[in-house]
Structure 1
Amino acid sequence: MIEIAVQDVEGARTAKEEGADRIELCSALGATGGLTPSFGLIRACARVEVPQGVQVLIRSRAGSFVFSDDERNVQLDDVRAAVEAGASGVVVGGLTDEGKLDEPFAAALAEAAREAGARVGHDIDITFHRAFDVTRDRFAVMDALIGMGYTRILTSGGAAGVPEGLDALRELVDHAAGRIQIQAGGGLTVESIPEAMATGVDALHMSAKRLVVSEGGPGGGGAAPIECTDRDVVRAAVAAVRV
Protein backbone atom coordinates (compact mmCIF):
# COMPACT_ATOMS: atom_id res chain seq x y z
CA MET A 1 0.00 0.00 0.00
CA ILE A 2 1.50 3.34 -0.99
CA GLU A 3 0.12 6.83 -0.43
CA ILE A 4 1.48 9.87 -2.27
CA ALA A 5 1.28 13.34 -0.73
CA VAL A 6 0.09 15.79 -3.40
CA GLN A 7 -0.81 19.46 -3.50
CA ASP A 8 -2.85 19.88 -6.66
CA VAL A 9 -5.14 18.14 -9.15
CA GLU A 10 -2.27 17.34 -11.50
CA GLY A 11 -0.50 15.57 -8.65
CA ALA A 12 -3.62 13.54 -7.91
CA ARG A 13 -3.86 12.50 -11.56
CA THR A 14 -0.20 11.57 -11.67
CA ALA A 15 -0.53 9.44 -8.54
CA LYS A 16 -3.55 7.63 -9.98
CA GLU A 17 -2.03 7.08 -13.41
CA GLU A 18 1.16 5.65 -11.93
CA GLY A 19 -0.68 3.22 -9.67
CA ALA A 20 -0.67 4.79 -6.20
CA ASP A 21 -3.29 3.37 -3.85
CA ARG A 22 -4.36 6.68 -2.32
CA ILE A 23 -3.25 10.28 -1.87
CA GLU A 24 -2.86 12.65 1.01
CA LEU A 25 -3.85 16.15 -0.04
CA CYS A 26 -2.37 19.24 1.59
CA SER A 27 -1.05 22.70 0.80
CA ALA A 28 2.33 24.36 1.50
CA LEU A 29 4.01 21.03 2.12
CA GLY A 30 7.65 22.03 1.75
CA ALA A 31 7.35 25.36 3.54
CA THR A 32 5.26 24.23 6.51
CA GLY A 33 5.01 20.44 6.56
CA GLY A 34 1.49 20.75 5.18
CA LEU A 35 -1.67 22.77 5.81
CA THR A 36 -5.37 22.25 5.14
CA PRO A 37 -6.19 22.52 1.41
CA SER A 38 -9.19 24.44 0.12
CA PHE A 39 -12.70 23.03 -0.29
CA GLY A 40 -12.48 23.40 -4.06
CA LEU A 41 -9.15 21.60 -4.26
CA ILE A 42 -10.44 18.71 -2.16
CA ARG A 43 -13.51 18.37 -4.36
CA ALA A 44 -11.49 18.50 -7.58
CA CYS A 45 -9.02 15.85 -6.36
CA ALA A 46 -11.84 13.61 -5.14
CA ARG A 47 -13.20 13.64 -8.69
CA VAL A 48 -9.92 12.15 -9.95
CA GLU A 49 -11.00 8.93 -8.24
CA VAL A 50 -7.73 7.55 -6.92
CA PRO A 51 -8.52 3.92 -5.89
CA GLN A 52 -8.62 4.47 -2.12
CA GLY A 53 -9.50 8.11 -2.30
CA VAL A 54 -8.22 11.35 -0.82
CA GLN A 55 -6.91 11.65 2.72
CA VAL A 56 -7.06 15.36 3.60
CA LEU A 57 -4.57 16.91 6.00
CA ILE A 58 -6.30 19.09 8.60
CA ARG A 59 -3.82 21.55 10.09
CA SER A 60 -4.61 25.22 10.45
CA ARG A 61 -1.08 26.58 10.74
CA ALA A 62 2.59 25.70 10.81
CA GLY A 63 4.56 25.26 14.01
CA SER A 64 3.75 23.25 17.09
CA PHE A 65 0.86 20.80 17.40
CA VAL A 66 -0.44 22.55 20.54
CA PHE A 67 -3.59 24.42 19.50
CA SER A 68 -5.77 27.12 21.01
CA ASP A 69 -9.54 26.70 21.36
CA ASP A 70 -10.07 28.81 18.24
CA GLU A 71 -7.62 26.67 16.26
CA ARG A 72 -9.29 23.49 17.45
CA ASN A 73 -12.69 24.77 16.38
CA VAL A 74 -11.39 25.72 12.96
CA GLN A 75 -9.97 22.23 12.48
CA LEU A 76 -13.20 20.57 13.56
CA ASP A 77 -15.07 22.63 10.96
CA ASP A 78 -12.40 21.78 8.38
CA VAL A 79 -12.90 18.06 9.07
CA ARG A 80 -16.61 18.42 8.33
CA ALA A 81 -15.95 20.51 5.22
CA ALA A 82 -13.34 18.07 3.89
CA VAL A 83 -15.77 15.16 4.14
CA GLU A 84 -18.51 17.22 2.50
CA ALA A 85 -16.09 18.03 -0.34
CA GLY A 86 -15.43 14.34 -0.98
CA ALA A 87 -12.57 13.29 1.28
CA SER A 88 -12.41 9.58 2.04
CA GLY A 89 -10.34 10.29 5.14
CA VAL A 90 -8.83 13.02 7.28
CA VAL A 91 -5.33 13.33 8.73
CA VAL A 92 -5.46 15.05 12.10
CA GLY A 93 -3.81 15.46 15.49
CA GLY A 94 -3.00 17.65 18.46
CA LEU A 95 -0.87 17.61 21.60
CA THR A 96 -0.75 19.18 25.03
CA ASP A 97 1.98 21.51 26.30
CA GLU A 98 3.52 18.49 28.04
CA GLY A 99 3.97 16.58 24.79
CA LYS A 100 1.08 14.24 25.48
CA LEU A 101 -1.91 13.44 23.29
CA ASP A 102 -4.63 16.08 23.50
CA GLU A 103 -7.23 13.41 24.16
CA PRO A 104 -10.39 15.59 24.19
CA PHE A 105 -9.38 17.17 20.88
CA ALA A 106 -8.38 13.84 19.31
CA ALA A 107 -11.71 12.35 20.33
CA ALA A 108 -13.62 15.36 19.00
CA LEU A 109 -11.81 15.15 15.66
CA ALA A 110 -12.70 11.47 15.33
CA GLU A 111 -16.31 12.11 16.26
CA ALA A 112 -16.58 15.00 13.78
CA ALA A 113 -15.23 12.74 11.02
CA ARG A 114 -17.63 9.92 11.87
CA GLU A 115 -20.64 12.24 12.04
CA ALA A 116 -19.72 13.86 8.73
CA GLY A 117 -19.24 10.43 7.18
CA ALA A 118 -22.69 9.37 8.34
CA ARG A 119 -24.19 12.41 6.63
CA VAL A 120 -22.57 11.53 3.29
CA GLY A 121 -23.23 7.82 3.67
CA HIS A 122 -19.78 6.24 4.01
CA ASP A 123 -17.13 5.53 6.62
CA ILE A 124 -14.24 7.99 6.91
CA ASP A 125 -10.63 6.97 7.57
CA ILE A 126 -9.07 8.82 10.50
CA THR A 127 -5.28 9.10 10.50
CA PHE A 128 -3.23 10.62 13.31
CA HIS A 129 -0.40 12.58 11.69
CA ARG A 130 3.25 12.98 12.65
CA ALA A 131 2.46 14.86 15.82
CA PHE A 132 2.70 11.26 17.00
CA ASP A 133 6.47 11.39 16.49
CA VAL A 134 7.00 14.10 19.10
CA THR A 135 4.91 12.50 21.84
CA ARG A 136 6.73 11.20 24.90
CA ASP A 137 5.05 7.79 25.17
CA ARG A 138 4.13 6.56 21.71
CA PHE A 139 2.78 3.23 22.92
CA ALA A 140 0.37 4.95 25.30
CA VAL A 141 -0.71 7.37 22.57
CA MET A 142 -1.28 4.47 20.20
CA ASP A 143 -3.46 2.68 22.73
CA ALA A 144 -5.52 5.82 23.26
CA LEU A 145 -6.01 6.31 19.51
CA ILE A 146 -7.10 2.68 19.15
CA GLY A 147 -9.68 3.27 21.85
CA MET A 148 -11.00 6.28 19.92
CA GLY A 149 -11.37 4.28 16.72
CA TYR A 150 -8.57 5.81 14.67
CA THR A 151 -7.75 3.96 11.43
CA ARG A 152 -4.00 4.54 11.22
CA ILE A 153 -0.96 6.42 12.46
CA LEU A 154 1.48 8.21 10.15
CA THR A 155 4.95 7.96 11.69
CA SER A 156 8.68 7.86 11.10
CA GLY A 157 9.13 6.00 14.36
CA GLY A 158 9.97 9.24 16.12
CA ALA A 159 13.11 9.74 14.03
CA ALA A 160 13.97 12.53 11.61
CA GLY A 161 12.96 10.20 8.80
CA VAL A 162 11.88 6.64 8.13
CA PRO A 163 15.40 5.36 7.29
CA GLU A 164 16.55 6.39 10.79
CA GLY A 165 13.47 5.02 12.52
CA LEU A 166 13.33 1.43 11.28
CA ASP A 167 13.84 -0.23 14.66
CA ALA A 168 11.19 1.94 16.28
CA LEU A 169 8.79 1.22 13.44
CA ARG A 170 9.18 -2.51 14.07
CA GLU A 171 8.36 -1.95 17.73
CA LEU A 172 5.29 0.09 16.83
CA VAL A 173 4.08 -2.61 14.44
CA ASP A 174 4.53 -5.22 17.16
CA HIS A 175 2.65 -3.13 19.69
CA ALA A 176 -0.16 -2.37 17.23
CA ALA A 177 -0.67 -6.11 16.63
CA GLY A 178 -3.16 -5.41 13.87
CA ARG A 179 -5.35 -3.15 16.03
CA ILE A 180 -4.45 0.00 14.06
CA GLN A 181 -2.57 0.55 10.80
CA ILE A 182 1.00 1.83 10.96
CA GLN A 183 1.96 3.93 7.94
CA ALA A 184 5.64 4.82 7.53
CA GLY A 185 6.23 8.34 6.30
CA GLY A 186 8.75 11.15 6.55
CA GLY A 187 12.00 11.23 4.60
CA LEU A 188 11.06 8.09 2.69
CA THR A 189 12.86 7.58 -0.63
CA VAL A 190 12.48 4.98 -3.35
CA GLU A 191 15.78 3.46 -2.23
CA SER A 192 14.61 3.09 1.37
CA ILE A 193 11.28 1.44 0.51
CA PRO A 194 12.49 -2.18 0.84
CA GLU A 195 13.86 -1.59 4.34
CA ALA A 196 10.69 0.23 5.37
CA MET A 197 8.51 -2.59 4.07
CA ALA A 198 10.61 -5.11 5.99
CA THR A 199 9.51 -3.53 9.29
CA GLY A 200 6.01 -4.89 8.70
CA VAL A 201 4.23 -1.55 8.35
CA ASP A 202 0.82 -1.55 6.70
CA ALA A 203 1.52 1.27 4.25
CA LEU A 204 4.11 3.74 3.00
CA HIS A 205 3.74 7.50 2.53
CA MET A 206 5.96 9.79 0.47
CA SER A 207 5.74 13.17 -1.24
CA ALA A 208 7.62 12.41 -4.48
CA LYS A 209 7.87 16.13 -5.14
CA ARG A 210 10.15 18.20 -7.35
CA LEU A 211 10.59 21.95 -7.71
CA VAL A 212 9.67 23.94 -10.81
CA VAL A 213 10.64 27.61 -11.01
CA SER A 214 7.76 29.99 -11.66
CA GLU A 215 7.96 33.69 -12.41
CA GLY A 216 6.25 35.90 -9.88
CA GLY A 217 4.95 39.42 -10.19
CA PRO A 218 4.01 42.41 -8.05
CA GLY A 219 3.13 41.05 -4.64
CA GLY A 220 4.25 37.58 -5.67
CA GLY A 221 7.79 37.76 -4.38
CA GLY A 222 9.46 37.36 -7.76
CA ALA A 223 10.53 34.00 -9.11
CA ALA A 224 9.64 31.20 -6.73
CA PRO A 225 9.68 27.41 -6.91
CA ILE A 226 6.43 25.46 -7.17
CA GLU A 227 6.31 21.95 -5.72
CA CYS A 228 5.02 19.41 -8.22
CA THR A 229 4.51 15.66 -8.06
CA ASP A 230 7.33 13.90 -9.92
CA ARG A 231 5.85 11.22 -12.17
CA ASP A 232 9.09 9.26 -12.42
CA VAL A 233 9.48 9.07 -8.64
CA VAL A 234 5.88 7.93 -8.19
CA ARG A 235 6.34 5.26 -10.84
CA ALA A 236 9.55 4.01 -9.21
CA ALA A 237 8.00 4.00 -5.74
CA VAL A 238 4.97 2.01 -6.90
CA ALA A 239 7.27 -0.46 -8.67
CA ALA A 240 9.36 -0.87 -5.50
CA VAL A 241 6.26 -1.59 -3.40
CA ARG A 242 4.86 -4.07 -5.94
CA VAL A 243 8.04 -6.23 -6.07
Structure 2
Amino acid sequence: MTLEIAVQGTSGARIALEEGADRIELCVALGETGGLTPSFGLIQMCAHVGVPQGVQALIRPRGGSFVFDADEKDVQLADVRSSILAGASGVVVGGLNADNTIDEPFARALITAARDEAQRCNRKVQVTFHRAFDMVPDQFAALDQLIDMGFTRVLTSGGAPTVPEGLGRLHDLVEHAAGRIEILAGGGLRPEGFQDAFNAGITELHLSAKRLMPSDGGPGGGGRQGFVERTDRELVRRAVEAARR
Protein backbone atom coordinates (compact mmCIF):
# COMPACT_ATOMS: atom_id res chain seq x y z
CA MET A 1 0.00 0.00 0.00
CA THR A 2 1.36 3.41 -1.00
CA LEU A 3 0.97 6.24 1.51
CA GLU A 4 1.00 9.90 0.46
CA ILE A 5 1.10 12.61 3.14
CA ALA A 6 -0.10 16.14 2.42
CA VAL A 7 2.43 18.58 3.90
CA GLN A 8 2.79 22.35 3.90
CA GLY A 9 6.47 22.88 4.67
CA THR A 10 9.96 21.45 4.79
CA SER A 11 9.51 20.19 8.34
CA GLY A 12 6.47 18.21 7.21
CA ALA A 13 8.47 16.70 4.35
CA ARG A 14 11.18 15.64 6.81
CA ILE A 15 8.62 14.03 9.11
CA ALA A 16 7.16 12.12 6.15
CA LEU A 17 10.64 10.87 5.22
CA GLU A 18 11.71 9.97 8.75
CA GLU A 19 8.48 8.10 9.55
CA GLY A 20 8.51 6.12 6.30
CA ALA A 21 5.85 7.66 4.05
CA ASP A 22 6.21 6.94 0.35
CA ARG A 23 5.33 10.30 -1.19
CA ILE A 24 4.20 13.81 -0.30
CA GLU A 25 1.74 16.21 -1.80
CA LEU A 26 2.93 19.76 -1.17
CA CYS A 27 0.55 22.71 -0.84
CA VAL A 28 -0.14 25.72 1.35
CA ALA A 29 -3.28 27.02 3.12
CA LEU A 30 -4.70 23.51 3.25
CA GLY A 31 -7.22 23.95 6.06
CA GLU A 32 -8.40 27.38 4.99
CA THR A 33 -8.84 26.68 1.27
CA GLY A 34 -8.36 22.97 0.56
CA GLY A 35 -4.83 23.73 -0.65
CA LEU A 36 -3.06 26.24 -2.89
CA THR A 37 0.11 26.25 -5.02
CA PRO A 38 3.35 26.25 -3.00
CA SER A 39 6.21 28.60 -3.89
CA PHE A 40 9.17 27.69 -6.09
CA GLY A 41 11.49 27.85 -3.09
CA LEU A 42 9.28 25.62 -0.95
CA ILE A 43 9.08 22.98 -3.70
CA GLN A 44 12.84 23.12 -4.15
CA MET A 45 13.56 22.72 -0.43
CA CYS A 46 11.09 19.82 -0.05
CA ALA A 47 12.46 18.07 -3.14
CA HIS A 48 15.92 18.14 -1.50
CA VAL A 49 14.55 16.29 1.56
CA GLY A 50 14.50 13.07 -0.47
CA VAL A 51 11.12 11.45 0.17
CA PRO A 52 11.29 8.17 -1.83
CA GLN A 53 8.66 8.95 -4.46
CA GLY A 54 9.26 12.68 -4.34
CA VAL A 55 7.08 15.79 -4.22
CA GLN A 56 3.71 16.14 -5.90
CA ALA A 57 3.04 19.89 -6.08
CA LEU A 58 -0.57 21.03 -5.95
CA ILE A 59 -1.37 23.59 -8.66
CA ARG A 60 -4.36 25.71 -7.62
CA PRO A 61 -4.37 29.52 -7.67
CA ARG A 62 -7.25 30.12 -5.24
CA GLY A 63 -9.93 28.46 -3.16
CA GLY A 64 -13.51 28.01 -4.26
CA SER A 65 -14.77 26.81 -7.63
CA PHE A 66 -12.67 24.68 -9.96
CA VAL A 67 -13.99 26.63 -12.95
CA PHE A 68 -11.12 28.89 -13.99
CA ASP A 69 -10.95 31.91 -16.27
CA ALA A 70 -8.27 32.44 -18.92
CA ASP A 71 -5.90 34.32 -16.61
CA GLU A 72 -6.15 31.66 -13.90
CA LYS A 73 -5.44 28.95 -16.46
CA ASP A 74 -2.34 30.76 -17.71
CA VAL A 75 -1.06 31.08 -14.14
CA GLN A 76 -1.53 27.35 -13.56
CA LEU A 77 0.26 26.39 -16.76
CA ALA A 78 3.18 28.58 -15.69
CA ASP A 79 3.10 27.07 -12.18
CA VAL A 80 3.17 23.54 -13.62
CA ARG A 81 6.36 24.35 -15.52
CA SER A 82 8.03 26.16 -12.62
CA SER A 83 7.12 23.39 -10.14
CA ILE A 84 8.86 20.76 -12.24
CA LEU A 85 11.83 23.07 -12.75
CA ALA A 86 11.99 23.46 -8.95
CA GLY A 87 12.29 19.69 -8.56
CA ALA A 88 8.75 18.34 -8.20
CA SER A 89 8.38 14.76 -9.41
CA GLY A 90 4.75 15.42 -10.21
CA VAL A 91 1.94 17.95 -10.20
CA VAL A 92 -1.63 17.74 -8.94
CA VAL A 93 -3.95 19.62 -11.29
CA GLY A 94 -7.46 19.92 -12.68
CA GLY A 95 -10.31 22.11 -13.80
CA LEU A 96 -14.01 21.87 -14.57
CA ASN A 97 -16.58 23.34 -16.90
CA ALA A 98 -19.59 25.21 -15.52
CA ASP A 99 -21.60 21.95 -15.56
CA ASN A 100 -18.89 20.23 -13.45
CA THR A 101 -17.65 18.06 -16.30
CA ILE A 102 -13.88 17.94 -16.84
CA ASP A 103 -12.49 20.91 -18.75
CA GLU A 104 -10.72 18.65 -21.22
CA PRO A 105 -8.85 21.28 -23.28
CA PHE A 106 -7.42 22.74 -20.08
CA ALA A 107 -6.59 19.29 -18.66
CA ARG A 108 -4.76 18.41 -21.87
CA ALA A 109 -2.86 21.70 -21.75
CA LEU A 110 -1.83 20.99 -18.14
CA ILE A 111 -0.52 17.52 -18.88
CA THR A 112 1.29 18.74 -22.01
CA ALA A 113 2.97 21.54 -20.04
CA ALA A 114 4.08 19.03 -17.40
CA ARG A 115 5.53 16.59 -19.91
CA ASP A 116 7.24 19.26 -21.98
CA GLU A 117 8.96 20.76 -18.92
CA ALA A 118 9.94 17.32 -17.63
CA GLN A 119 11.49 16.52 -21.00
CA ARG A 120 13.47 19.77 -20.89
CA CYS A 121 14.68 18.82 -17.41
CA ASN A 122 15.44 15.25 -18.58
CA ARG A 123 13.11 13.77 -15.97
CA LYS A 124 9.90 11.81 -15.80
CA VAL A 125 6.79 13.38 -14.30
CA GLN A 126 3.56 12.13 -12.76
CA VAL A 127 0.32 14.05 -13.19
CA THR A 128 -2.57 13.63 -10.75
CA PHE A 129 -6.08 14.99 -11.28
CA HIS A 130 -7.16 16.49 -7.95
CA ARG A 131 -10.44 16.37 -6.03
CA ALA A 132 -12.30 18.50 -8.55
CA PHE A 133 -13.06 14.95 -9.72
CA ASP A 134 -15.43 14.57 -6.76
CA MET A 135 -17.77 17.17 -8.29
CA VAL A 136 -18.05 15.42 -11.67
CA PRO A 137 -21.54 13.96 -12.29
CA ASP A 138 -20.38 10.87 -14.24
CA GLN A 139 -17.15 9.73 -12.62
CA PHE A 140 -16.75 6.65 -14.79
CA ALA A 141 -16.88 8.64 -18.04
CA ALA A 142 -14.52 11.17 -16.47
CA LEU A 143 -12.12 8.41 -15.48
CA ASP A 144 -12.03 7.23 -19.10
CA GLN A 145 -11.23 10.80 -20.17
CA LEU A 146 -8.31 11.01 -17.75
CA ILE A 147 -7.00 7.63 -18.88
CA ASP A 148 -7.18 8.74 -22.51
CA MET A 149 -5.24 11.92 -21.67
CA GLY A 150 -2.52 9.96 -19.89
CA PHE A 151 -3.01 11.03 -16.26
CA THR A 152 -1.06 8.97 -13.73
CA ARG A 153 -3.71 8.97 -11.00
CA VAL A 154 -6.81 10.66 -9.64
CA LEU A 155 -7.24 11.84 -6.04
CA THR A 156 -10.80 11.17 -4.93
CA SER A 157 -13.13 10.31 -2.08
CA GLY A 158 -15.52 8.67 -4.54
CA GLY A 159 -17.66 11.81 -4.67
CA ALA A 160 -18.57 11.50 -0.98
CA PRO A 161 -17.61 13.97 1.77
CA THR A 162 -15.06 11.45 3.09
CA VAL A 163 -13.36 8.26 1.95
CA PRO A 164 -15.18 6.03 4.51
CA GLU A 165 -18.49 7.29 3.11
CA GLY A 166 -17.35 6.75 -0.48
CA LEU A 167 -15.87 3.25 -0.23
CA GLY A 168 -18.52 1.66 -2.45
CA ARG A 169 -17.90 4.10 -5.29
CA LEU A 170 -14.13 3.92 -4.78
CA HIS A 171 -14.29 0.14 -5.15
CA ASP A 172 -16.21 0.54 -8.40
CA LEU A 173 -13.72 3.12 -9.68
CA VAL A 174 -10.81 0.78 -8.94
CA GLU A 175 -12.61 -1.98 -10.83
CA HIS A 176 -13.36 0.36 -13.75
CA ALA A 177 -9.77 1.63 -13.86
CA ALA A 178 -8.46 -1.94 -14.15
CA GLY A 179 -4.89 -0.80 -13.65
CA ARG A 180 -5.03 1.86 -16.37
CA ILE A 181 -4.85 4.73 -13.84
CA GLU A 182 -4.15 4.83 -10.11
CA ILE A 183 -7.01 5.59 -7.72
CA LEU A 184 -5.62 7.58 -4.78
CA ALA A 185 -8.17 7.65 -1.97
CA GLY A 186 -8.15 10.88 0.04
CA GLY A 187 -10.49 12.97 2.15
CA GLY A 188 -11.35 12.49 5.82
CA LEU A 189 -9.19 9.38 6.04
CA ARG A 190 -7.63 8.18 9.30
CA PRO A 191 -5.29 5.24 9.99
CA GLU A 192 -8.09 3.23 11.57
CA GLY A 193 -9.91 3.31 8.23
CA PHE A 194 -7.05 1.91 6.17
CA GLN A 195 -8.16 -1.73 6.49
CA ASP A 196 -11.62 -0.95 5.12
CA ALA A 197 -10.05 0.94 2.24
CA PHE A 198 -7.75 -1.97 1.48
CA ASN A 199 -10.72 -4.37 1.59
CA ALA A 200 -12.39 -2.16 -1.04
CA GLY A 201 -9.42 -2.71 -3.36
CA ILE A 202 -7.63 0.57 -2.70
CA THR A 203 -3.83 0.45 -2.62
CA GLU A 204 -3.01 4.19 -2.61
CA LEU A 205 -3.94 6.38 0.34
CA HIS A 206 -3.68 10.15 0.87
CA LEU A 207 -3.67 11.56 4.37
CA SER A 208 -3.68 15.14 5.64
CA ALA A 209 -1.80 14.45 8.87
CA LYS A 210 -2.04 17.91 10.38
CA ARG A 211 -2.73 19.53 13.71
CA LEU A 212 -3.29 23.11 14.82
CA MET A 213 -0.56 24.95 16.71
CA PRO A 214 -1.01 28.31 18.50
CA SER A 215 0.49 31.16 16.49
CA ASP A 216 -0.81 34.68 16.97
CA GLY A 217 -0.07 36.84 13.97
CA GLY A 218 -1.89 39.88 15.25
CA PRO A 219 -4.36 41.95 13.23
CA GLY A 220 -2.46 41.47 9.96
CA GLY A 221 -1.28 37.91 10.49
CA GLY A 222 -4.31 36.06 9.20
CA GLY A 223 -4.53 32.40 10.06
CA ARG A 224 -7.40 30.55 11.69
CA GLN A 225 -8.04 32.42 14.96
CA GLY A 226 -4.39 32.44 16.02
CA PHE A 227 -3.43 28.95 14.86
CA VAL A 228 -1.25 27.48 12.12
CA GLU A 229 -1.25 23.95 10.71
CA ARG A 230 1.72 21.64 11.21
CA THR A 231 2.35 18.03 10.23
CA ASP A 232 1.61 15.71 13.14
CA ARG A 233 4.52 13.27 13.51
CA GLU A 234 2.58 10.81 15.69
CA LEU A 235 -0.29 10.68 13.19
CA VAL A 236 2.13 10.09 10.31
CA ARG A 237 3.79 7.31 12.32
CA ARG A 238 0.44 5.63 13.01
CA ALA A 239 -0.54 5.99 9.37
CA VAL A 240 2.68 4.36 8.15
CA GLU A 241 2.26 1.51 10.63
CA ALA A 242 -1.34 0.96 9.52
CA ALA A 243 -0.38 1.05 5.84
CA ARG A 244 2.40 -1.49 6.35
CA ARG A 245 0.00 -3.86 8.14
Given the two structures, how large is their TM-score scaled by the length of structure 2?
0.97
Q: Which residue pairs with 1:169 in the alignment? A: 170
Of stretches 114-123 and 212-221 in structure 1, the one that deviates more from structure 2 is: 212-221
Q: Which amino acid aligns with 1:228?
A: R
Query: Retained in 2: the 8 A contact 1:39–1:81?
Result: yes
Structure 1 segment 67-216 matched on structure 2, within 5 A:
67-216=68-217
Counterparts of 1:63 and 1:218 in 2: how far apart (Å)?
24
Question: After TM superposition, which residue ranges in structure 1, 4 or more long, deviate above 6 angstroms?
Answer: none
Of stretches 131-140 and 210-219 in structure 1, the one that deviates more from structure 2 is: 210-219
Counterparts of 1:155 and 1:196 in 2: how far apart (Å)?
13
Query: Retained in 2: the 8 A contact 1:93–1:129?
Result: yes
**C-alpha deviation, 1:31, in angstroms:** 0.2
Offset from partner CA, 1:151-185 (integer Å, 9 cap, x none): 00000000000010000000000000000000000
Counterparts of 2:97 and 2:106 in 1: how far apart (Å)?
10
Counterparts of 1:80 and 1:72 in 2: how far apart (Å)?
13
Query: Retained in 2: the 8 A contact 1:211–1:226?
Result: yes
Q: Which amino acid aligns with 1:231?
A: R
Query: Retained in 2: the 8 A contact 1:6–1:24?
Result: yes
**C-alpha deviation, 1:202, in angstroms:** 3.1
Gaps of 5+ in 2: none
1:239 aligns with 2:241: yes
Query: Retained in 2: the 8 A contact 1:53–1:88?
Result: yes
Q: Which amino acid aligns with 2:121?
A: V
**C-alpha deviation, 1:218, in angstroms:** 5.1
Counterparts of 2:35 and 2:55 in 1: how far apart (Å)?
15
Gaps of 5+ in 1: none
Given the two structures, how large is their TM-score scaled by the length of structure 1?
0.98
**Once superposed, what is the RMSD of the aligned Cα atoms?**
1.0
Counterparts of 1:98 and 1:174 in 2: how far apart (Å)?
26
Number of residue equivalences: 243
Of stretches 151-160 and 199-208 in structure 1, the one that deviates more from structure 2 is: 199-208
Counterparts of 1:218 and 1:242 in 2: how far apart (Å)?
45
Offset from partner CA, 1:67-96 (integer Å, 9 cap, x none): 001000000000000000000000000000
Q: Give the 3-state SS of the residue equivalent to 1:126 in structure 2.
A: strand
Q: Which residue pairs with 2:226 in the alignment? A: 224
**C-alpha deviation, 1:221, in angstroms:** 4.7
